[in-house]
Structures are given as structure tokens and as C-alpha cells.
């Protein structure tokens, strides 16, 4: 699969199914400690870097296959996940496909944008946002 990996064991999340909607090293930071290496696409521009339909098709397949083996569905991966413009749609789809909690691992730098806030703060949904040790759940 191109956009899904795992389930992988995570110290914080148990078994996590990873969804990666961002091309390799596309980020708005260049952290020197980044485990992915040097940022090659430094951008603040939010767009659908890959077709949403393709990502959703893989999500449907992977969640169905792993539903009983996972603790979390996690949006993370090769760059900053909030750079994916329709992240909200992907999260809502994940919540439709599974009752497992969804986590977004983000550097938090775009949270000042209302559109990004609306993607992540979903009333009545079990969501976690991780920025290092920071966690919100409702
Ligand atoms: S914010 Fe995350 S993905 Fe981006 S450079 Fe820093 S550690 Fe890497």
C-alpha cells in the first residue's frame, strides 16, 4: 500500500495503523532532529498532495483488514499531516470506517488557521492531537 503502514507498536498508542497523506519530507519545519532527514519540500501550502479517493480506498481496505488488531488510527508519516487540505474528510472517513480513536501527530504550526482547527476539533469524535506530550481528547 502507498498511503498506509502498520499496524506498528507505539509506546503511547498501542497498535497504530498509520495513514500518510503527505509526500516524503514535505513539511513547514526543518527540525535538525527529524528522523526523516532533511526537509526537501519546505512549504506552508495546504493541498491534496495525493488523490483523496486513492487514500480512502486504501483506508477502507486496511481498516477492514486490521480493525481487530489496532488501538488507534494515526495520521502521520512522511511530513506534516495538516498540510493535506482535505484532512478533515480523511479523518471523518476513518471515523466512519472504525470506532477506534483517531490521532493526528502534528507540529501544531498551522493550528492558528481556522480551517485546520475545523479539521481537527470534531465535536463528539474521539480525537487525539499529539505535539510531543500534548494530548487533547473529548
Ligand atoms: S515538524 Fe516533524 S516532520 Fe517536520 S521537520 Fe520537524 S520533526 Fe520532521
Distance CA 11, CA 21 (A): 23
Q: What is the predicted pLDDT for the residue at 136?
A: 46
Interval 49-74 mean pLDDT: 96
Structural domains in the chain, sorted by start: 4-130 (3.20.20.70)
Q: Is the CB of 30 under 6 A from ligand 1?
A: yes
Query: Average model confidence (pLDDT) for the chain?
Result: 89
Q: Is the CB of 20 under 6 A from ligand 1?
A: no
Nearest ligand 1 atom to the CA of 107 is 1
Local structure of residue 99 (DSSP, 8 states): S
β strands within 47-136, DSSP E: 72-75, 102-105, 127-130
Provide the whole-model pTM.
0.89
* Strand 102-105, strand 72-75: pairing: parallel
Cα→Cα distances 133→30, 60, 73, 76, 111, Å: 20, 30, 18, 15, 16
Pick from 80, 106, 110 the residue to mutate for probing ligand 1's pocket: most ligand atoms within 8 Å of its CB. Answer: 80
Interval 110-114 mean pLDDT: 92
Mind listing the pLDDT tens digit for each residue in 37-49?
999 999 999 999 9
Amino acid at each position: 500500500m502507498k498511503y498506509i503502514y502498520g499496524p506498528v507498536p507505539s509506546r503511547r498508542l498501542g497498535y497504530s495503523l498509520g495513514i500518510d497523506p503527505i509526500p516524503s519530507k514535505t513539511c513547514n519545519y526543518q527540525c535538525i532532529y527529524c528522523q526523516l532527514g532533511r526537509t526537501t519540500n519546505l512549504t506552508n501550502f495546504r493541498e491534496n498532495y495525493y488523490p483523496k479517493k486513492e487514500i480512502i480506498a486504501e483506508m477502507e481496505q486496511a481498516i477492514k483488514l486490521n480493525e481487530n488488531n489496532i488501538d488507534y488510527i494515526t495520521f502521520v508519516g512522511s511530513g506534516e499531516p495538516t498540510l493535506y487540505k482535505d484532512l478533515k474528510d480523511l479523518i471523518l472517513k476513518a471515523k466512519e470506517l472504525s470506532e477506534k480513536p483517531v490521532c493526528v501527530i502534528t507540529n501544531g504550526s498551522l493550528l492558528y488557521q481556522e480551517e485546520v482547527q475545523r479539521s481537527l476539533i470534531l465535536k463528539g469524535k474521539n480525537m487525539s492531537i499529539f505535539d510531543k506530550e500534548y494530548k487533547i481528547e473529548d
